[in-house]
Structure 1
Amino acid sequence: MRRGIFSAIALTLATAAGAQQTPTLNSRLTGDLVPTHDPVIAREGDTYYVFGTGLSVRTSKDLVTWTGGKPLLDNTLPAWAEKAVPGAKGMWAPDISFVNGRWRLYYAVSTFGSNRSAIGLATSPTLDPAAPGYGWRDEGMVVASTPASDFNAIDANFVIDREGRHWLSLGSFWNGLKLFPLDAKTGKPADPTAKPYAIAERPAPRGAPAPVEAPFILDHGGYYWLFASYDYCCKGAASTYYTVVGRAKAITGPYLGKDGSSMMQGGGTIFLRADLPEKQRFRGPGHVGFLHDKDGKDYVAYHAYDRDNKGAPTLRIAPVTWGPDGWPKAED
């Protein structure tokens, strides 16, 4: 009997150890992962696509092995963008959605540290360059900001609410994140003169930076979930970026963290963070993009800086589960 008890205990411990050693998706990622900044993820047919700043393209059949391809649109600015944002050199922070039979690619045009920025739109019937009809059509400017604006028109994210209304969230620093109602047919603001909704802000002393950017909104479980990146990206392994989430009953907010803290006051609940413990390899995880896959599973794509590879911005992908309390959790 005693031997049987010991055998059962040993089997339990071995099973637990095996479970702890199960490799995560992030630990299995391979291929062309670097450099990736501001990723967004989508699936068409049997192929996964990740697009990033520079309109970089990566594809995979299994979410594990990634192959880089030719940048979309050659990362070449259309004439309207060169005029709207003098000095801009490329396209940043894309967002991708399939709407009314075409893929909508929103992208940002700016120069670092400036809010003279614009969001552009291009559309294509397919993401596959080898498919019939493939080709991106320039749909022009969507939203612009100037030094007189209280927001920065970069980091766009498109979402459709439960009533079928179309929205675009965006923002970086300045007075935080904004939400624009869109015309469902054009994908552009329904009323260009209307003031956008404020959905997140990090109040700071006058003249001090207010680091919040990269909104992404999900509809899940009767709530709208707003994900945003706080603090600083783009400093390699010294980056302090992290991702928070809040939820609201209405898409316009107010978005609150699990503790009731308001994202209009710099609150929210931590979703991704890499500064604890200090020895963690991948630093500054942020600028998330989500995929609700065909099998019902949820994934989050984001970038983080690899301390073991000179701080290179690296593609990361993690399954997302929704806990008994209704809140999301990303696998390490």
Structure 2
Amino acid sequence: MMSSRDAATAADPTTWGARNAHDPTVVRGDDGRWYMFSTDAAAGVDEVPAGVHVRTSPDLVEWTFVGTALDGVPAAAFAHSGAAGLWAPEVVRWPSADGSPRWHMYYSASTFGSRTSVIGLATASSPAGPWTDAGPVVTTTHQVDGHNAIDAAVVFDRAGRPWLTYGSFFGGIHILPLDVRTGFAERPGEVGTLIARRPASVDGAVEGAYIVYRPEEDRFVLFVSYDSLFDSYSMRVAVSSSVTGPYLDANGRTLTDVSGGTPDAVGTKILGGHRFPDGTAWIAPGHNSVFRDGDRLFLVHHVRHADDPTRHEAQIRRVHVTASGWPLVSPHPFAGYDSERLRAPEAVSGDWDVVRFDPAERGVAASVRLPVVAAAHTDGQALTTPLIVSASGGPDDADIVLDAVVFGAFDPVAQRPVLAFAGLDAAGVVWTGSKAVTA
């Protein structure tokens, strides 16, 4: 049972850090600070501040809660949805004709299990605000519409045209063009193009979509979350040469394909519930967004503690790309650039704690200690290389050859830099690992 002191601490947002951040997005302001925006949510708190939670950080590691972007749910969004708070804010630097600073926030107002929802727009000259509500962009009604107006994200195509990705469960994920001058839909009332869905056998469980354009491969990468945000979320990716799809996974299957096979067969799973030796068991990582720091790519998502799923927090992970162009994530949360740099180059070959992200696994995948072989050394600088994982780790007792990238990370148990990897096998399954720490 929580003590009165613990309860008072839990209710004080200034003590939260990255705890209680749900559906996060991260941007960097012109003041040099990082800003995290997230859903109005908190565990063990009776009265949660409403109006999009905002945190700031100087280094992407230490986060300080600074309040809400808006003063509760805007009137028009509340009148339609009856929402008690705001969900899944998307914040993006917006182009302006005169070059002046301009930011857009797309927020969601809804209630659980309902398609009576609003995606609204607020604007500001800085992520620090003040934010001014501009009204609804997309609305849906439960008894009328098959799709759902929540979980907005914005991507600019090759020509600089903005697109709004949105949707969840029910009718799947759609994308529609926005007017670059106003930030509203080019054609009001348009549903958009369907780019991802799940079968009815799993209640159509897909949401939290985010698209990033990668000029390095000249293609668009779609991130989505499968299953339940409460206990079984996992993150999937697919790629396309066009912003409107089709989006294909590593096995060439489109994310709109619900015919045949299992409901987990489509979508390349890059992160799910997992645990490393003596570490925290994490479940339901999901609803991510992607951002850059210079040429470095990051992913931010929320995740829950397996021993108490009501506890959730935001984690930031480095994204590294394999030789074949697949963006995969670090097995360990980001703890600062210096913390992931080894003192000297180290052989990649050795014993590793390895996790295989089985696409059908909805619980915690525990790591297994296995030999890994590669003819390479690194001090933590990312390098793409084939890796061979010992036969005992394979589902068919055969050596596993991975299209992998090896990089530095910070082991939160050993409290030191270690080598880590992420890679794809021939079946399109993602493996990740942390090199075993020796005395």
The bucket for the TM-score relative to the shorter chain is 0.7 to 0.9
How many Å apart are 1:191 and its aligned residue? 0.6
How many Å apart are 1:275 and its aligned residue? 4.9
Q: 2-side partners of 1:41 and 1:77: how far apart?
A: 21
Per-residue CA shift, 1:192-221, capped at 9, x if unaligned? 14341000011224xx61100011000012
2:55 is aligned, of 28, 45, 58, to: 58
2:195–2:245: 8 Å Cα contact kept in structure 1?
A: yes
> What fraction of aligned residue pairs are identical, expressed as a percent?
37
Count of residue pairs the alignment pairs up: 289
1:307 is matched with which residue? Answer: 306
1:181–1:190: 8 Å Cα contact kept in structure 2?
A: yes
Per-residue CA shift, 1:49-95, capped at 9, x if unaligned? 11100211111101111111111113x1222112211x311111000
SS in 2 for 1:34: coil
1:40 is matched with which residue? Answer: 25
Higher relative contact order (CA 8 A, sep 6+): 1
2:251 is matched with which residue? Answer: 259
2:176 is aligned, of 169, 180, 183, to: 180
Q: 2-side partners of 1:232 and 1:307: how far apart?
A: 14
User: Which runs of 5 or more structure 1 residues have no equivalent in the other structure?
Assistant: 1-29, 129-133
Q: 1-side partners of 2:153 and 2:240: how far apart?
A: 17
Q: Which amino acid aligns with 2:322?
A: G
Q: Which amino acid aligns with 1:91?
A: L
- Relative to structure 1, the CA distance from residue 155 to residue 69 in structure 2 (aligned partners, 3 Å threshold; closer, same or farther) is same
2:367 is matched with which residue? Answer: none
Q: 2-side partners of 1:188 and 1:166: how far apart?
A: 10
1:135 is aligned, of 105, 130, 134, to: 130
2:207 is aligned, of 213, 236, 239, to: 213
SS in 1 for 2:168: coil
1:171 is matched with which residue? Answer: 167
- Relative to structure 1, the CA distance from residue 63 to residue 193 in structure 2 (aligned partners, 3 Å threshold; closer, same or farther) is closer
1:288–1:303: 8 Å Cα contact kept in structure 2?
A: yes
Q: 2-side partners of 1:219 and 1:210: how far apart?
A: 26
Is 1:145 the counterpart of 2:130? The answer is no
Q: 2-side partners of 1:276 and 1:217: how far apart?
A: 28
SS in 1 for 2:77: helix
1:12 is matched with which residue? Answer: none
TM value normalised by structure 2: 0.63
- Relative to structure 1, the CA distance from residue 195 to residue 283 in structure 2 (aligned partners, 3 Å threshold; closer, same or farther) is closer
1:240–1:275: 8 Å Cα contact kept in structure 2?
A: no
User: Which runs of 5 or more structure 2 residues have no equivalent in the other structure?
Assistant: 1-14, 41-51, 96-100, 259-265, 332-439
2:150 is aligned, of 150, 154, 158, to: 154
Per-residue CA shift, 1:304-332, capped at 9, x if unaligned? 00235554111100010111110001111
- Relative to structure 1, the CA distance from residue 154 to residue 194 in structure 2 (aligned partners, 3 Å threshold; closer, same or farther) is closer
Larger helix proportion of the pair: 1
How many Å apart are 1:138 and its aligned residue? 1.0
Q: 2-side partners of 1:318 and 1:56: how far apart?
A: 21
